[in-house]
């Protein structure tokens, strides 16, 4: 429990100045990092060091730093969000690393997530998928009282399990096919499990899948890597539900 | 429906349906093959083989089966290529073992190896039986003249340790392929939920073991016994 | 003083909003299509406003600095959202929610606004359920509630410990639907750097495309700022790293008054600061105080041993534990409001009873509720929070009590707005945490979500029509107008100035320094001497910043240091105004605690005779003292009493 000091770490990191740049790995060393520090705090320290050395700091996405906004997205030592389970990169702590280790940091790699700079990728593809149907078509106002339609406890819980998705893209990053199925499945399941969302379920599945395909994500081969690397442990049973919803939608046409 | 088979889930569905179809075939095939070791006279197996070769229903199924294989194989290459293209820049450092099984990630590799096995297997047995029956000896069982398929198979297994090992490996590869493919097929069809997924995975593993053991035991039987 | 017209409608409190809605103008659907509205920020306020306005037919342009609207910091709200539904039959009502909020805010909020907030609160829950927010439910299928600090009823709706996330996703999805329809044009990774005023009215913004570094102009008929609070002035806070006050600050510089800047909420239950490498503080939801008991050792020796790591919390016998909240406030116990709980924790730690190595932590213990309810129940209620705690601290809170300490969490102060949520600049609106309106000097738990959504779904869509109805003949803003030229030029000059300093220290160095000054002198406990010192020190550090900051990279590329520098530059100014406001308000109220104004037993003492007003600061130019205007607060429906939670 007590924090230790990691005397020296080698940080091998992807550097790419902009979308058009070819990019390459650079290795930096950093000293005296507390194991109680978070991974991103370690990068902050490295960046401040780089600035003082007159170098360009490493660009990486991050915001809430408490594992909920889904902004941070680093591929660390061959794993989405690094060597811990049920965490985002910002919740990863240096106690998971050893003194003298070389840590490799890469951006999410997917055709649908082009690199913008260094470790920052463009996840706009996720936006487009959700815009294609990840909602319930109700306007503000004119809705019934919240308790008018009871929702079975189990359904609400299952819906919430899927709704916990933070849209970080770890599923895509971890999937050998760079598939977005878990992301899409989570949204489809979240809404399909609720009576309010059931009404549009078929259309939603159809439109979201069509958009997902259009954007260059790979297909799902049920390896289950997405579930393991998902910081919110969203189950791949949601993918089965998505398949079901999609087939229902297609066969009812 | 026109867009169905071009959509990712539609394409997956084809793999799933053909795969599950082949799963059924494999079960039948193994059952028939096991006759090889339950009757050393070969009569049981020969009769079964003759039945399979002459039964009209089987005859109808034969081209469908061929088509199933063909689609499953060609489609897998196509899908794998497209999935591969979805990540144009690969990771420098990979550590996938933590998150998924080797088998699930390498279905194409397993499938390709099984394909190699299949080609040899077809040349050795199916081709001979189907298109060159004259080269085989014939037997008369219960008044019916038929090719001595038992001799064809048992002779090979008795004669060649290399082929014994080759067939054992083939069975094991198939087992691995099925251990993921079986439940994955159901999953793709949407026939899975939080209770059934783990059940299906267990059934899948049990089935895979049965198939692998069932096929492997045959050459081993001949190798050890004769 | 006439400049501060709060436009509070006449009539009895309960009828004001309905009467106002009947009185204000409405824009016809055909005319709505001609009107453009800019919404800056896409948290609960911004997203709900953008969606609702677009549904009505307005052309909306929405902006966020994140890569997706869904990442706005509303997403981090954990515990829940209040609504006067009275589903629990525990005698809740609109009036009770109104009263709790006014009292919780220590009588420094506007009655009419707060009443309206309570009045629309039930609609929010209806709306969210219709959108598919998976609120927690009972086995019968109806909605469940939990209790929160500062109230005696259960009116908080929740989605596990991720209520903010789920509500934001609801609003975000509603907005996505409008983006798909083309009614909302979404600009992600764009940061507003200035508001453009033409003929005295807000007509657009200047924004920087954070990917290309390009400075862009956007015109509209009205601008809505929903950019959240300025808690990051303190460097360490529970806010997101990117949360900033710059959008609101540019409005201030362009004439919008800034109200009650010193009202900052310090949340009692955060994971304590740890070492000096820390970048942010993590909140542990207030809802935990439903089932957790707060304590420190009764004996100083025990506290010392804990600090040295010689004993663990479980080694301290029951009788040697001081459940100080239950002791001091028997009727509310662990559920006193945030400001009270925070100060009580600080008091114990300052007295030498702190329990972590730094002596700045108290225990939040679940042992008792685990014994009473079982681990599974606790896990179902707070599983994700416990997991988060364990990941950060490496301590299992099911076995050992959590260590917590207060941290900066929310800013009640913000841009001054009238009853219509319009600032002192016509056509410029401010909603959610960015405005000052509803929480007075202290916000009750689970009320921020309520306010953000109330503003965005049910208030602004009505009130903005009153202004836009007179703009229907006004053509679209001409972004080639000289006002846009000037604004863009100023933005460019400032960026270039920052960039070309090429000093020797990174932005964080200055931000951390500012944070220390703010926390030490403008934090939980304030006094005249400290505040004066703070103002002096802030000026010094600002001067050093403008000489010594080093911004690497390029101007015309993604440049996170440049973004940060611009925000921190504004934080200096905001910090100074906060200190000035705190100095001016020589009373203790809510989160603002002046050591000069305490009761005999050490509780905060308000001075209603002299300070029952909203401090509204008017910008007068760089290096000029801002001018204070006072909006008197009139209480016709509640009696001002000394707040007591004993």
Compute the count of residue pairs across chains A and C with CB atoms less than 8 Å apart.
228
Query: Which member of C338, C526, C585, C643 is catalytic?
Result: C338
Continuous segment of H or E residues that includes residue C496: helix C482-501
Question: Are A191 and C174 within 8 A, CB to CB?
Answer: no
Instruction: Select from B1, B4, B80, B86 the residue whose CB has the most chain A CBs within 10 Å, as the one to mutate to test that interface.
Output: B86
Q: Tell me if A85 is assigned to some domain.
A: yes
Interfacial C residues in 333-372 facing A (CB < 8 Å): none
User: What integer pLDDT is reported at residue C384 of this predicted model?
Assistant: 83
Q: Tell me if B100 is assigned to some domain.
A: no
Backbone angles phi and psi of B136, in degrees to 5: -95, 155
Any CB–CB contact under 8 A between C232 and chain A? no
Residues A189 and A219 in one domain: yes
User: What integer pLDDT is reported at residue A251 of this predicted model?
Assistant: 86
As a whole number, mean pLDDT of residues A181-197 equals 98
Query: Which chain B residues are Cβ-neighbours of A132 within 8 angstroms?
Result: none
Residues C295 and C386 in one domain: yes
As a whole number, mean pLDDT of residues C615-630 equals 96
Q: Tell me if A9 is assigned to some domain.
A: yes
Question: Are B197 and A223 within 8 A, CB to CB?
Answer: no
Q: Tell me if B101 is assigned to some domain.
A: no
Q: Tell me if A19 is assigned to some domain.
A: yes
Residues A137 and A201 in one domain: yes
Q: How many residues does chain C have?
A: 646
Cα(C508)–Cα(C280) distance, rounded to whole angstroms? 12
Q: Tell me if C639 is assigned to some domain.
A: no
Instruction: Among C134, C279, C505, select the one facing A194 at the smallest CB separation.
Output: C134
Query: Which chain A residues are Cβ-neighbours of B4 within 8 angstroms?
Result: 250
- Mark A18-43 as b/e (b = at least 16 C-beta within 10 Å): beeeebeeeebebeebbbbbbbbbbb
Please state, in angstroms and as integers, the Cα–Cα distance from residue C13 to each residue in C8, C19, C451, following that order. Answer: 10, 10, 18
Closest listed residue to residue C314, CA positions, set C231, C235, C400: C400
Q: Tell me if A162 is assigned to some domain.
A: yes
Last residue of a domain, one of C408, C436, C468: C408
Q: Tell me if B135 is assigned to some domain.
A: yes
Compute the count of residue pairs across chains A and B with CB atoms less than 8 Å apart.
144
Residues A149 and A70 in one domain: no
Residue of A nearest to C238 (CA): A64
Closest listed residue to residue A224, CA positions, set A215, A232, A234: A234
Crossing angle of helices A181-192 and A124-131, rounded to 10°: 30
Residue of B nearest to A216 (CA): B86
As a whole number, mean pLDDT of residues C149-164 equals 91
User: What integer pLDDT is reported at residue B130 of this predicted model?
Assistant: 86
For the stretch C571-580, pLDDT in tens is 999 999 999 9
Residues A132 and A241 in one domain: yes
Please state, as a whole number, how many other Cβ atoms lie within 10 Å of the Cβ of residue B191: 17
Q: Tell me if A63 is assigned to some domain.
A: yes
Can you state the percent helix, strand and coil of chain A, rounding each to 5?
35, 15, 45
Residues C290 and C391 in one domain: yes
Question: Are C558 and A153 within 8 A, CB to CB?
Answer: no
Instruction: Among A158, A225, A245, select the one facing B96 at the smallest CB separation.
Output: A225
Please state, in angstroms and as integers, the Cα–Cα distance from residue A114 to each residue in A173, A216, C189, following that order. Answer: 12, 11, 15
Q: Tell me if A113 is assigned to some domain.
A: no
Q: Tell me if C335 is assigned to some domain.
A: yes
Instruction: Among A213, A218, A225, select the one facing B83 at the smallest CB separation.
Output: A218
Please state, as a whole number, how many other Cβ atoms lie within 10 Å of the Cβ of residue B199: 13
- Mark C354-379 as b/e (b = at least 16 C-beta within 10 Å): bbbbebbbbbbbbbebbeeeeeeebe
Cα(C390)–Cα(A175) distance, rounded to whole angstroms? 27
Instruction: Select from B4, B87, B105 the residue whose CB has the most chain A CBs within 10 Å, as the one to mutate to test that interface.
Output: B87
Cα(B9)–Cα(A137) distance, rounded to whole angstroms? 25
Helix ranges, C272-374 (H): 300-308, 324-328, 338-348, 367-373
Q: Tell me if B122 is assigned to some domain.
A: yes
As a whole number, mean pLDDT of residues C342-362 equals 94
CA-based nearest distance B73→chain A, Å: 15
For the stretch C183-205, pLDDT in tens is 999 999 999 999 999 999 999 99
Tokens of C557: 């590329």
Residues C490 and C612 in one domain: yes
As a whole number, mean pLDDT of residues A121-138 equals 98
Q: Tell me if B209 is assigned to some domain.
A: yes
Residue C99 makes CB contacts below 8 A (sequence gap 6+) with: C638
Instruction: Among C71, C238, C309, select the one facing A63 at the smallest CB separation.
Output: C71
Instruction: Among B79, B89, B95, select the one facing A79 at the smallest CB separation.
Output: B95
Q: Tell me if B90 is assigned to some domain.
A: no
Q: How many domains does chain B have?
A: 1
Cα(A218)–Cα(B80) distance, rounded to whole angstroms? 9
CA-based nearest distance B28→chain A, Å: 26
Any CB–CB contact under 8 A between C388 and chain A? yes
Residues A151 and A42 in one domain: no
Cα(B22)–Cα(B33) distance, rounded to whole angstroms? 16
Residue C514 makes CB contacts below 8 A (sequence gap 6+) with: C233, C235, C538, C541, C568, C571, C572, C575
Q: Tell me if A119 is assigned to some domain.
A: no
Question: Are C279 and A152 within 8 A, CB to CB?
Answer: no
Note if C160 is an active site residue: no
Q: Is A55 in contact with A40 (CB distance < 8 Å)?
A: no
Q: Is C362 in contact with C355 (CB distance < 8 Å)?
A: yes
Please state, as a whole number, how many other Cβ atoms lie within 10 Å of the Cβ of residue C138: 13
User: What integer pLDDT is reported at residue C1 of this predicted model?
Assistant: 42
* Region class of C394: left (phi > 0), else alpha (psi between -120 and 50), else beta: left
Tokens of C326: 């239950």
Residues C490 and C598 in one domain: yes
For the stretch C514-537, pLDDT in tens is 999 999 999 999 999 999 999 999
Instruction: Among B83, B91, B191, select the one facing A106 at the smallest CB separation.
Output: B91
Q: Going along chain A, which residue ranges are E strands?
A: 5-15, 24-34, 75-76, 79-80, 102-106, 115-117, 120-121
Query: Which chain C residues are Cβ-neighbours of A146 within 8 angstroms?
Result: 85, 122, 125-126, 128-129, 135, 143
Interfacial A residues in 25-64 facing B (CB < 8 Å): 25
Sheet holding C293-297, edge to edge: C264-270, C402-411, C362-365, C293-297, C321-322
Residue C600, domain CATH: 1.20.58.100
As a whole number, mean pLDDT of residues C313-321 equals 96
Last residue of a domain, one of A106, A136, A155: A106
Q: Tell me if A50 is assigned to some domain.
A: yes
Place of tokens 């020296």: A8
Residue C326, domain CATH: 3.90.700.10
Q: How many domains does chain A have?
A: 2
Q: Is C425 in contact with C201 (CB distance < 8 Å)?
A: yes
Interfacial C residues in 391-420 facing A (CB < 8 Å): 391-392, 394-395
Q: Tell me if B95 is assigned to some domain.
A: no
Residue C274 has pLDDT above 90, yes or no: no
Q: Is C255 in contact with C463 (CB distance < 8 Å)?
A: no
As a whole number, mean pLDDT of residues C112-122 equals 98
Residues A128 and A239 in one domain: yes
CA-based nearest distance A250→chain C, Å: 22
Closest listed residue to residue B65, CA positions, set B52, B78, B81: B52
Cα(C458)–Cα(C434) distance, rounded to whole angstroms? 17
Question: Are C66 and A57 within 8 A, CB to CB?
Answer: no
Residue B201 makes CB contacts below 8 A (sequence gap 6+) with: B183
Cα(C228)–Cα(C456) distance, rounded to whole angstroms? 13
Interfacial A residues in 168-207 facing B (CB < 8 Å): 174, 176-179, 181
Q: Is C320 in contact with C302 (CB distance < 8 Å)?
A: yes
User: Is the Cα torsion angle C290, C292, C296, C297 positive or negative in sign?
Assistant: positive
Question: Are C388 and A166 within 8 A, CB to CB?
Answer: no
Residues C497 and C618 in one domain: yes
Cα(B129)–Cα(B132) distance, rounded to whole angstroms? 6
As a whole number, mean pLDDT of residues A217-241 equals 97
Residues A231 and A142 in one domain: yes
Q: How many domains does chain C have?
A: 2
Residue of A nearest to C167 (CA): A163
Residue A173, domain CATH: 1.10.1060.10
Residues with pLDDT less than 70, chain B? 1-2
Residue A18, domain CATH: 3.10.20.30
Residues A102 and A161 in one domain: no
As a whole number, mean pLDDT of residues A6-17 equals 98
A138 pLDDT tier (thresholds 50, 70, 90)? very high
Q: Partners for A (CB, 8 Å, 3+ pairs)?
A: B, C
Last residue of a domain, one of A106, A137, A164: A106
Q: Tell me if C452 is assigned to some domain.
A: no
Interfacial A residues in 201-240 facing B (CB < 8 Å): 209-210, 212-213, 216-225, 228-229, 235-237, 239-240
Average pLDDT over chain C reads: 96
Q: Which residue has the higher pLDDT, C79 or C255?
A: C255
Residues A28 and A132 in one domain: no
Q: Tell me if C568 is assigned to some domain.
A: yes
Q: What is the extent of the structural domain holding C531?
A: 482-622
Cα(C436)–Cα(C257) distance, rounded to whole angstroms? 10
Q: Tell me if B128 is assigned to some domain.
A: yes
User: What integer pLDDT is reported at residue C381 of this predicted model?
Assistant: 82
Residues C275 and C404 in one domain: yes
Last residue of a domain, one of C387, C408, C429: C408
Residues A129 and A245 in one domain: yes
Query: Which chain C residues are Cβ-neighbours of A114 within 8 angstroms?
Result: none
Helix (H, G, I), strand (E, B) or coil at C457: helix
Helix (H, G, I), strand (E, B) or coil at C515: helix
Query: Which chain A residues are Cβ-neighbours of C140 within 8 angstroms?
Result: 150
Any CB–CB contact under 8 A between C558 and chain A? yes
Cα(C388)–Cα(C409) distance, rounded to whole angstroms? 18
Residue C158 makes CB contacts below 8 A (sequence gap 6+) with: C79, C80, C81, C135, C136, C144, C145, C146, C287
Closest listed residue to residue C426, CA positions, set C304, C256, C559: C256
User: What integer pLDDT is reported at residue C226 of this predicted model?
Assistant: 98
Residue C286 has pLDDT above 90, yes or no: no
Cα(C570)–Cα(C556) distance, rounded to whole angstroms? 21
Nearest 5°: the CA angle B141, B142, B148 is 10
User: What integer pLDDT is reported at residue A79 of this predicted model?
Assistant: 97
Last residue of a domain, one of C389, C408, C427: C408
Residue C482 makes CB contacts below 8 A (sequence gap 6+) with: none
Q: What is the extent of the structural domain holding A48?
A: 5-106
For the stretch A46-102, pLDDT in tens is 999 999 999 999 999 999 999 999 999 999 999 999 999 999 999 999 999 999 999
Question: Are C174 and A17 within 8 A, CB to CB?
Answer: no
Q: What is the extent of the structural domain holding B195?
A: 4-83+106-225
Q: Do chains C and A touch (3 or more CB pairs under 8 A)?
A: yes
Distance of CA A157 to the CA centre of its chain: 21
Last residue of a domain, one of A106, A132, A150: A106
User: What integer pLDDT is reported at residue B2 of this predicted model?
Assistant: 60
Question: Are A64 and C136 within 8 A, CB to CB?
Answer: no
Query: Which chain A residues are Cβ-neighbours of B6 within 8 angstroms?
Result: 213
Tokens of B170: 């083939």
User: Is the Cα torsion angle C569, C570, C575, C576 positive or negative in sign?
Assistant: positive
């Amino acid at each position: 429990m007590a924090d230790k000091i990691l005397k020296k770490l080698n940080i091998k990191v992807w550097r790419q100045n902009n979308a058009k740049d070819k990019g390459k790995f650079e290795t930096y060393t950093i000293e005296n990092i507390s194991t109680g520090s978070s991974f991103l705090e370690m990068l902050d320290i490295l960046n401040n060091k780089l600035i003082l050395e007159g170098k360009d700091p490493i660009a990486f996405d991050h915001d809430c730093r408490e594992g909920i906004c889904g902004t941070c997205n680093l591929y660390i030592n061959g794993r989405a969000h690094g060597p811990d389970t049920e965490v985002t990169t910002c919740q990863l702590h240096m106690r998971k690393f050893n003194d003298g280790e070389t840590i490799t940091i890469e951006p999410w790699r997917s055709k649908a997530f082009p690199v913008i700079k260094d470790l920052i990728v463009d996840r706009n593809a996720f936006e487009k998928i959700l815009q294609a149907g990840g909602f319930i078509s109700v306007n503000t106002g004119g809705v019934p009282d919240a308790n008018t339609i009871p929702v079975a406890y189990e359904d609400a819980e299952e819906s919430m399990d899927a709704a916990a998705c933070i849209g970080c893209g770890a599923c895509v990053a971890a999937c050998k096919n760079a598939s977005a199925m878990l992301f899409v499945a989570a949204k489809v399941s979240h809404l399909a499990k609720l009576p309010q969302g059931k009404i549009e379920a078929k259309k939603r599945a159809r439109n979201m899948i069509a958009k997902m395909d259009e954007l260059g994500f790979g297909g799902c081969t049920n390896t289950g890597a997405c579930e393991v690397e998902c910081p919110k442990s969203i189950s791949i049973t949601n993918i089965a539900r998505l398949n079901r919803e999609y087939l229902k939608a297609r066969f009812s046409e | 429906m026109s867009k169905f088979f071009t959509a990712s889930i539609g394409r997956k569905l084809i793999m799933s349906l053909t795969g599950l179809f082949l799963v059924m075939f494999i079960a039948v095939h193994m059952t028939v093959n096991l006759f090889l070791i339950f009757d050393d006279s070969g009569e049981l197996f020969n009769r079964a083989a003759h039945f399979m070769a002459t039964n009209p229903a089987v005859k109808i199924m034969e081209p469908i089966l061929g088509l199933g294989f063909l689609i499953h194989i060609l489609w897998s290459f196509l899908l794998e290529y497209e999935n591969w293209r979805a990540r144009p820049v690969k990771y420098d450092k990979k550590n996938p073992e933590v998150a998924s099984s080797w088998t699930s990630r390498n279905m194409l590799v397993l499938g390709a190896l099984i394909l190699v096995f299949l080609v040899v297997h077809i040349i050795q047995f199916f081709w001979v039986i189907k298109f060159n029956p004259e080269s085989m000896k014939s037997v008369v069982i219960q008044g019916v003249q038929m090719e001595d398929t038992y001799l064809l198979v048992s002779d090979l297994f008795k004669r060649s340790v290399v082929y014994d090992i080759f067939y054992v490996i083939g069975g094991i590869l198939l087992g691995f392929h099925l251990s993921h493919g079986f439940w994955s097929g159901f999953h793709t069809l949407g026939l899975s939920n939080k209770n059934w997924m783990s059940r299906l995975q267990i059934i899948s593993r049990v089935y895979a073991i049965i198939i692998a053991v069932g096929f492997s035991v045959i050459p081993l039987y001949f190798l050890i016994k004769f | 003083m006439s400049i501060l017209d709060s436009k509070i409608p006449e009539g009895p409190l309960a009828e004001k909003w309905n009467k106002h809605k009947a009185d204000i103008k409405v824009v016809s659907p055909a005319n709505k299509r001609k009107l453009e509205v800019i919404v800056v920020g896409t948290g609960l306020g911004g997203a709900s406003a953008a969606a609702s306005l677009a549904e009505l037919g307005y052309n909306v342009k929405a902006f966020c600095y994140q890569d997706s609207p869904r990442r706005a910091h509303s997403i981090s709200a954990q515990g829940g959202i209040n609504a006067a539904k009275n589903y629990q039959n525990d005698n809740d009502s609109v009036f009770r929610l109104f009263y709790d909020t006014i009292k919780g805010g220590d009588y420094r909020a506007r009655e009419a606004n707060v009443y309206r907030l309570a009045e629309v609160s039930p609609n929010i829950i209806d709306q969210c359920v219709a959108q598919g927010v998976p609120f927690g439910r009972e086995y019968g299928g109806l909605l469940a509630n939990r209790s929160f600090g500062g109230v005696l009823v259960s009116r908080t709706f929740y989605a596990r410990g991720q209520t903010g996330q789920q509500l934001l996703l609801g609003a975000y999805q509603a907005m996505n639907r409008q983006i798909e329809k083309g009614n909302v044009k979404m600009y992600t990774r764009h940061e507003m750097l200035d508001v453009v005023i033409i003929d005295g009215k807000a007509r657009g913004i200047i924004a920087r495309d954070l990917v290309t570094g390009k400075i862009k102009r956007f015109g509209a008929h009205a601008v809505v700022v929903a950019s959240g609070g300025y808690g990051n002035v303190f460097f360490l806070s529970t806010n997101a790293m990117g949360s900033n006050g710059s959008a609101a600050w540019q409005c201030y510089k362009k004439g919008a008054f800034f109200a009650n800047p010193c009202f900052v909420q310090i949340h009692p239950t955060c994971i304590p600061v740890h070492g000096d490498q820390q970048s942010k503080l993590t909140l542990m939801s207030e809802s935990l105080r439903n089932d957790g008991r707060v304590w420190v050792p009764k004996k100083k020796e025990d506290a010392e041993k804990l600090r040295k790591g010689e004993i663990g919390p479980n080694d301290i016998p029951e009788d040697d534990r001081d459940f100080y909240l239950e002791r001091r406030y028997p009727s509310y116990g662990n559920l006193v409001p945030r400001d009270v709980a925070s100060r009580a924790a600080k008091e114990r730690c300052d007295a030498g009873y702190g329990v972590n190595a730094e002596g700045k932590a108290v225990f939040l213990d679940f042992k008792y509720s685990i014994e009473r309810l079982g681990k599974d129940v606790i896990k179902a209620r707070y599983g994700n929070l416990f997991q988060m705690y364990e990941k950060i601290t490496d301590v299992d809170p099911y076995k050992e009590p959590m260590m917590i300490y207060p941290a900066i969490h929310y800013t009640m102060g913000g841009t001054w707005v009238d009853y219509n949520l319009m600032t002192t600049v016509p056509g410029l609106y401010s909603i959610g945490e960015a405005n000052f309106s509803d929480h007075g000097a202290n916000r009750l738990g689970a009320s921020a979500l309520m306010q953000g959504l109330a503003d965005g779904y049910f208030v602004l869509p009505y009130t903005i029509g009153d202004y836009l109805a007179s703009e229907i003949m006004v053509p679209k803003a001409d972004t080639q107008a000289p006002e846009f030229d000037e604004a863009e030029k100023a933005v460019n000059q400032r960026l270039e100035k920052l960039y070309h300093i090429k000093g020797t220290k990174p932005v964080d160095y200055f931000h951390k320094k500012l944070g220390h000054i703010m926390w030490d002198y403008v934090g939980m406990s304030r006094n005249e001497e400290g505040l004066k010192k703070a103002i002096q020190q802030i000026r010094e550090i600002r001067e050093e910043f403008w000489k010594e900051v080093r911004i690497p990279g390029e101007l015309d590329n993604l440049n996170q240091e440049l973004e940060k520098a611009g925000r921190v530059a504004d934080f200096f100014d905001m910090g100074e105004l906060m200190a000035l406001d705190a100095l001016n308000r020589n009373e203790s109220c809510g989160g603002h605690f002046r050591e000069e104004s305490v009761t005999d037993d050490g509780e905060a003492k308000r001075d209603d005779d002299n300070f029952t007003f909203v401090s509204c600061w008017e910008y007068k130019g760089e290096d000029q003292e801002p001018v204070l205007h006072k909006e008197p607060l009139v209480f016709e429906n509640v009696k001002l009493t000394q707040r007591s939670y004993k």
